[in-house]
A = this chain, B = another copy of it.
Amino acid sequence: MKITRNTVAKTAVLEIFGNSTTALSHTEIQKQLNEVCDRVTTYRILDRLIQDDIIHKIVDLDGTVKYAKCRHEHRVHIHNHAHFSCENCHEITCLENVKPSYLIPHSYKVKDINFTLSGLCPKCSS
């Protein structure tokens, strides 16, 4: 596997994620980067961060693609946590502790689950 280098742009992207509690879209990141690097470079940085398991990709119910930091508190990193998508402020937050239980026919070999809840987040419902 290729070695990934630390560059100015990558550091800037990581800082943006460090300052955010919610998932961010490429466009939002690009705006915050404020000319630090090209649009294409940001896409490539995001790809690398995903490969390195530093962030993960989330597709919102409306198809919007966002990225969020991975939390590695537990030894094994679980990507299968739930996400909450606020229909008012459109913020996506990871619900690390919400895990659904379900029943499905044995003929389906389930490898991954994606569980996204939508409605109003704590901020928007009060």
Contact = CB atoms under 8 A, between A and B. Distances in A.
A54 interface: no
B108 A120 contact: yes
Contacts of A105: 122
Interface size of A as a range: 35 or more
A104 to B, nearest CB: 5
Given A59-B59, A113-B118, A125 B100 contact: no
Contacts of A101: 100-102
Given A111-B120, A112-B119, A118-B110, A95 B87 contact: no
Interface of A: 59-63, 65, 82, 84, 87, 95, 98-105, 107-122, 125-126
